[in-house]
Structure 1
Amino acid sequence: MDVSTITSVVRNFFSLETLDTRLHAPSSIERKNAIIAKANIQSKWNTLEYKIYGIIFVIAVPLMAKTAIEASNENNPNYPKFKHLLSQGWLFGREVDNSDTQYKFFRDNLPMLGGMILIHFACRQAATSVYPALKRTKFDFIYGMLFLLTAHGTNSIKILIHLGINYLIGKIVVEKSNKKTAILLTWVYGISTLFFNDYFRDHSVGISFIDKGWKGIISRWDVFFNFTLLRMLSFNLDYLERREKSNETSNERGDKSSEYDLLTSNLDDRSRLTAPLPITDYSGTNYLAYVLYTPLFIAGPIITFNDFIYQSNYKSCPSVKNWKRTFIYFLRLVFCILVMEFILHFMYVVAVSKTNAWEGNSPFQISMVGMFNLNIIWLKLLIPWRILRFWALLDGIDPPENMIRCMDNNYSALAFWRAWHRSFNKWVTRYIYIPLGGGGYYRFINMLCVFSFVAIWHDIELKLLIWGWLIVIFLLPEILATFFFKRYESTWWYNYVCAAGAVVNIWMMMIANLFGFCLGQDGTLKLLKEMFSTVGGIEFFLTASGALFVGVQIMYELRQDEMRRGISVRC
């Protein structure tokens, strides 16, 4: 193989298309050509400008990794402060930083998760072989109930009560009242469960069997209930939307014709959101099969009820039948796990952050401790999500991919939220943002509503609610600047002005996230003080800004490559 062939193979392996068929070019030739028409016809990779960028990139990235290693390994003077948080590793005889509580739980239980996937896969194959006519959702209902009891023990009763009340709201209130009342009650009850579970999670219910009984493998049932809530709401809102489109006189005829249409057509991902399911598909059994679907029960990714039922009982997505695609997806998952293991064995940045062990470090070193901390946060979410999605793909269900961009491949705060936890982003867009009016005159208010829900959904804390509102405020300059400069898109200097603005954006996002998730107040203030009050700090800031500018230009061209293939994911 020559260099160009190897480069092509690597680029294809890490392309968007290998992650999710939803990220392919649209099937409509007209839509695809419209995207291609917006892209630069000529690639810039072979220009002198981008060759210079390439040289800077090849120097800067390894230097960043080297600096993070030096700032956190056993040769650093601060090593004694965080050594107690390290444990014996398996790579090259090195210690491993397994001090992140969330990832430690997942990492230590990875063999058990692998066993669960094999058992579920074997049971599905056995059930299909013995009962060929068995509907997938019937199996999912039975297996889901057993898994719920195993995972949460007697706490399963609390979850089932929530599920039952939500189901009755969707089914009975609309009969006695109207769609708007049912939607309002669905949202009121759904959001109320978050507050109720947060307040009463440690309270006894006064029933000995529940209070003193076995709590299952995961006793903190309320932690994962947030994902269950999204599926509860999806069922009710999809049902109410479908019911509005049907009427009593055409229902009997419509059920049969709809089922025939579903069996003979392949709907794309957008069409599946509003798939014309027969009204009888919105049953209690299908509801529980969907909400308790084992591969996605714990943490998603989130798939809507309509999409799930369409894939389960009518038409499988082409991607889940393509074992080559699934295998490539698995290889990318393995690659991410190995990258995470390398970082944890060579960069003890989590331990450094936990102990504030950066005394005497330069601004460059402190910033790299923070940056690789952010990369670990990204990976510790990406890896479980991809394992769970891989499980679903093996089982014949194709949910949306949650992380479609590397955390370091972002220059826009708005686009960042479209790529981070993408299935959740698509969920809030469908069920909150669009029903409220989308990007019309009330865009700012609609965004406040979206991020208020996102904050409350994550945890019931005032600081998270303020965080959600601040994000909306931070997004406004980018939205206004984009609106103003869009008219100059055809000028030669447009990309450079945008890149300069993107550098400011990246600094703001990094500092906010370093403050919130990595360095805390002390570390962030120390970094800022060192960066703007010393000669070395100012030199670092200017050099880093230049490197970020180069990085943004490379990000632009990567997206231009995608658009030349007819792909636009708006992030």
Structure 2
Amino acid sequence: MSVLKLVTDFFSLETLDVRLLPTADAARREKIIKSANPRSRWNTVEYKFYLGVFAVVVPLMFYTAHTAASESNENYPRFAHLLSKGWMFGRKVDNSDQQYRFFRDNFPMLCVLIIAHCALRRIITPILRLSKRTYFDFGFGLLFLFGAHGTNVLRILIHLGINYAIGRFVPSPKAAIWIVWIYGISTLFINDRYRTLPFGVDAIDNRFKGIIERWDVFFNFTLLRMLSYNLDYLEKKRDNANSPEDDKITSKSSTLKLVNLDNRERLTAPIPLTDYNIINYLAYITYTPLFIAGPIVTFNDFIYQSNYQQLASVKDYKRTFIYFLRFCFCVLVMEFLLHFMYVVAVSKTKAWNGDTPFQISMLGLFNLNIIWLKLLIPWRMFRLWSLLDGIDPPENMIRCMDNNFSAVAFWRAWHRSYNQWIIRYIYIPLGGGGSHRVLNSLFVFSFVAIWHDIELKLLLWGWLVVIFLIPEIVATTIFKKFSEAWWYRHVCGVGAVVNIWMMMIANLFGFCLGKDGTIALLHEMFSTVSGIQFFVLASGALFVGAQVMFEIRESEKRKGIYVKC
């Protein structure tokens, strides 16, 4: 096997998640293979030219980002105070991002916790003869919750209790669903305003606050699990009202319903109504490997994997080891960027005076890559922990951030478990991609923005994303009928360039450069000769990148893999 084959296999979709393997449905797999171009383009003159462009442009991008955010830049004194002592080649490290700094500084403690948690399960389960995994998760989860948040755990338990009571005691399922959503979204505003409201009891207000005093920071993920539990429960309750016999899990025919369910079937796994109890509810909510940041697994899927059938993927130790190696690779890439490109510090201090449009754009682009990595690394670590513990949640990041040309597809690959949660509990109930697709997307991204933070800038970002989806949706509808034409791929490439520019501008505005930096970039790009030259050359480079992305997906289709992103 060649080195190139080893590298491409190592970084392939299939090594990330068994959900990304070729479908087991032979007819569907054959249909996917037939939809792909049967001949690879990698050895054509066109694609050899594209790879040559890559060989020149990508190193130039790294070099430009480095010069715009390093000691050699005239703006260095403005952001130097945000740098810390590093460990790589005697360089300083940009550890100024608060969110990633928390993870980075506590990385050794997390490693110890992973080892302790997995060891304790294997020791305690046989000693106490626990018949269900969720009994251990319930006990350990509550202890972990107190260790993490101290007496603030009462604030979380109050929310959990109210949420549980709504599903249990509101007699009308439709009314219960409305109240669940209203209360769930309200908790985000309540926590934002009253997270430190004292109880008036000294034993609670002035005692141990846990390792993470800001209990509300991770509550957003808790909210998703709260909603998942109640919505799954209310759906099961409704189904049982229509077909009461479906809940007789003791019968042999019903037991067979809980064997060898695939990813989609586990979302609506026919678990008995008795499994929607307080023990399983708290075990699911406080499941330690996924508590802090996910990935998100629905209640039905979690209970199925916990108490009925473990997936074969968690017993495939070779696959888990490869996943571990990919995690280590991502950590090293992040450390390299933080030691050689101080783009986060530059962004925080707005230290881009005198920089060229190319430099400002690279500051923004590598900032976005660091945002992608700072989310990917914790998510992969927590998923790795969950795999070692016997639960297989969805992979959150299946594409590199730079390997995206479609705004619609981008959101399917970014925070994938959240995207699947949104589709199941919001998008499909609203009607999905029917006649009200844009309006439904507006609701979705409004929720996404509020869920991230109670901030007007993010709400505007969410609406901006929806506006940017419209041209792609319209263009796809118009040009789809020409998909067999020789020029179709190149027209799609032009559309991809427009899409990438819009996605970058929206995300630079929302997460990196803010209003001032984005306006500065656009002003320099369209009001100066050098800026216009950069725009033309950058658009050409993006066109090349889009063509390479197209062929990557065609290669996947030839293997029977189609992930719609």
**TM-score category of the 2 structures, normalised to the smaller one:** over 0.9
In structure 2, the residue matched to 1:470 is: 464
Q: Cα deviation per residue 1:495-552 (whole Å; 9 max; x = unaligned)?
A: 1011101101111111222222222233222222222222222211111111100000
TM-score normalized with structure 2 length: 0.97
AA matched with 1:389: R
Q: 2:256 aligns with which of 256, 261, 283?
A: 261
Alignment of 1:23-62 (within 5 A): 23-62=20-59
In structure 2, the residue matched to 1:152 is: 149
Q: 1:110 aligns with which of 107, 111, 118?
A: 107
Tell me if structure 2 keeps the 8 A contact 1:291–1:297.
Answer: yes
Residue 55 of structure 1 deviates from its aligned partner by: 0.5
Alignment of 1:203-214 (within 5 A): 203-214=197-208
Residue 262 of structure 1 deviates from its aligned partner by: 4.8
Write the distance in 2 (CA, Å) between the matches of 1:469 and 1:522. 19
Deviates more, 1:375-384 or 1:443-452: 443-452
Q: Cα deviation per residue 1:178-203 (whole Å; 9 max; x = unaligned)?
A: 22122112112211211211121122
Residue 6 of structure 1 deviates from its aligned partner by: 0.9
Q: CA RMSD in A?
A: 1.5
Residue 169 of structure 1 deviates from its aligned partner by: 1.3
Residue 252 of structure 1 deviates from its aligned partner by: 6.1
Q: Is 1:376 aligned to 2:370, yes or no?
A: yes
Write the distance in 2 (CA, Å) between the matches of 1:479 and 1:406. 23
Tell me if structure 1 keeps the 8 A contact 2:218–2:293.
Answer: yes
Tell me if structure 1 keeps the 8 A contact 2:465–2:506.
Answer: no
Count of residues paired in the alignment: 564
Q: Cα deviation per residue 1:212-261 (whole Å; 9 max; x = unaligned)?
A: 22111111111111111111111111111112222485266345446621
In the superposition, relative to structure 1, how do residues 251 and 411 fare at CA in structure 2: closer, same or farther (>3 Å)?
closer
Tell me if structure 1 keeps the 8 A contact 2:247–2:273.
Answer: no
In the superposition, relative to structure 1, how do residues 236 and 476 fare at CA in structure 2: closer, same or farther (>3 Å)?
same
- 1:246 match: secondary structure: helix
Write the distance in 1 (CA, Å) between the matches of 2:472 and 2:560. 25
Q: Cα deviation per residue 1:401-442 (whole Å; 9 max; x = unaligned)?
A: 111111100111111111111111100100111111111122
Tell me if structure 1 keeps the 8 A contact 2:15–2:322.
Answer: yes
Write the distance in 1 (CA, Å) between the matches of 2:485 and 2:246. 56
In structure 2, the residue matched to 1:122 is: 119
Tell me if structure 1 keeps the 8 A contact 2:125–2:136.
Answer: no
AA matched with 1:169: I
Residue 207 of structure 1 deviates from its aligned partner by: 2.7
Alignment of 1:417-428 (within 5 A): 417-428=411-422
In structure 2, the residue matched to 1:76 is: 73
In structure 2, the residue matched to 1:353 is: 347
Deviates more, 1:442-451 or 1:202-211: 202-211
Tell me if structure 2 keeps the 8 A contact 1:99–1:351.
Answer: yes
Tell me if structure 2 keeps the 8 A contact 1:255–1:279.
Answer: no
AA matched with 2:245: S
In structure 2, the residue matched to 1:517 is: 511
AA matched with 1:394: L
In the superposition, relative to structure 1, how do residues 258 and 339 fare at CA in structure 2: closer, same or farther (>3 Å)?
farther
Write the distance in 2 (CA, Å) between the matches of 1:454 and 1:520. 19
Alignment of 1:187-226 (within 5 A): 187-226=181-220
In structure 2, the residue matched to 1:99 is: 96
Write the distance in 2 (CA, Å) between the matches of 1:186 and 1:57. 50
Tell me if structure 1 keeps the 8 A contact 2:35–2:557.
Answer: yes
Q: Cα deviation per residue 1:345-383 (whole Å; 9 max; x = unaligned)?
A: 111111122222222222211211111111111101110
Write the distance in 2 (CA, Å) between the matches of 1:352 and 1:222. 28
Q: Is 1:182 aligned to 2:198, yes or no?
A: no
Q: Is 1:486 aligned to 2:480, yes or no?
A: yes
Write the distance in 2 (CA, Å) between the matches of 1:41 and 1:266. 33
In structure 2, the residue matched to 1:399 is: 393
Q: 2:298 aligns with which of 297, 301, 304?
A: 304
Deviates more, 1:241-250 or 1:43-52: 241-250
Q: Is 1:161 aligned to 2:158, yes or no?
A: yes
Write the distance in 2 (CA, Å) between the matches of 1:27 and 1:519. 44
Write the distance in 2 (CA, Å) between the matches of 1:133 and 1:521. 55
Q: Is 1:366 aligned to 2:366, yes or no?
A: no
Write the distance in 1 (CA, Å) between the matches of 2:247 and 2:5. 54
- 1:435 match: secondary structure: helix
AA matched with 1:353: S
In structure 2, the residue matched to 1:228 is: 222
- 2:430 match: secondary structure: coil
Tell me if structure 1 keeps the 8 A contact 2:290–2:383.
Answer: yes
Tell me if structure 2 keeps the 8 A contact 1:303–1:400.
Answer: yes
Tell me if structure 1 keeps the 8 A contact 2:246–2:254.
Answer: no
Write the distance in 2 (CA, Å) between the matches of 1:259 and 1:126. 32
Q: Is 1:85 aligned to 2:82, yes or no?
A: yes
AA matched with 1:477: P
- 1:77 match: secondary structure: coil
Tell me if structure 2 keeps the 8 A contact 1:256–1:278.
Answer: no
Write the distance in 2 (CA, Å) between the matches of 1:494 and 1:526. 35
In the superposition, relative to structure 1, how do residues 318 and 252 fare at CA in structure 2: closer, same or farther (>3 Å)?
closer
AA matched with 2:490: Y
In the superposition, relative to structure 1, how do residues 249 and 475 fare at CA in structure 2: closer, same or farther (>3 Å)?
closer
Q: Cα deviation per residue 1:56-104 (whole Å; 9 max; x = unaligned)?
A: 0111101111111122221222222222211111111111111111111
Residue 146 of structure 1 deviates from its aligned partner by: 0.5
Q: Cα deviation per residue 1:132-183 (whole Å; 9 max; x = unaligned)?
A: 553100000000010111111111111111111111111222xxx2221221
In structure 2, the residue matched to 1:433 is: 427
Residue 121 of structure 1 deviates from its aligned partner by: 0.9
In the superposition, relative to structure 1, how do residues 233 and 299 fare at CA in structure 2: closer, same or farther (>3 Å)?
same
AA matched with 1:556: F
AA matched with 2:555: D
In the superposition, relative to structure 1, how do residues 203 and 54 fare at CA in structure 2: closer, same or farther (>3 Å)?
same
- 1:553 match: secondary structure: helix
Write the distance in 2 (CA, Å) between the matches of 1:197 and 1:187. 16
In the superposition, relative to structure 1, how do residues 262 and 230 fare at CA in structure 2: closer, same or farther (>3 Å)?
same
Q: Percent identity?
A: 66
Q: Is 1:335 aligned to 2:335, yes or no?
A: no
In the superposition, relative to structure 1, how do residues 533 and 237 fare at CA in structure 2: closer, same or farther (>3 Å)?
same
Write the distance in 2 (CA, Å) between the matches of 1:76 and 1:325. 44
In structure 1, the residue matched to 2:530 is: 536
In structure 1, the residue matched to 2:245 is: 250
Write the distance in 1 (CA, Å) between the matches of 2:539 and 2:365. 14
In the superposition, relative to structure 1, how do residues 339 and 237 fare at CA in structure 2: closer, same or farther (>3 Å)?
same
In structure 1, the residue matched to 2:551 is: 557
Tell me if structure 2 keeps the 8 A contact 1:25–1:565.
Answer: yes
Tell me if structure 1 keeps the 8 A contact 2:383–2:395.
Answer: yes
In the superposition, relative to structure 1, how do residues 142 and 220 fare at CA in structure 2: closer, same or farther (>3 Å)?
same
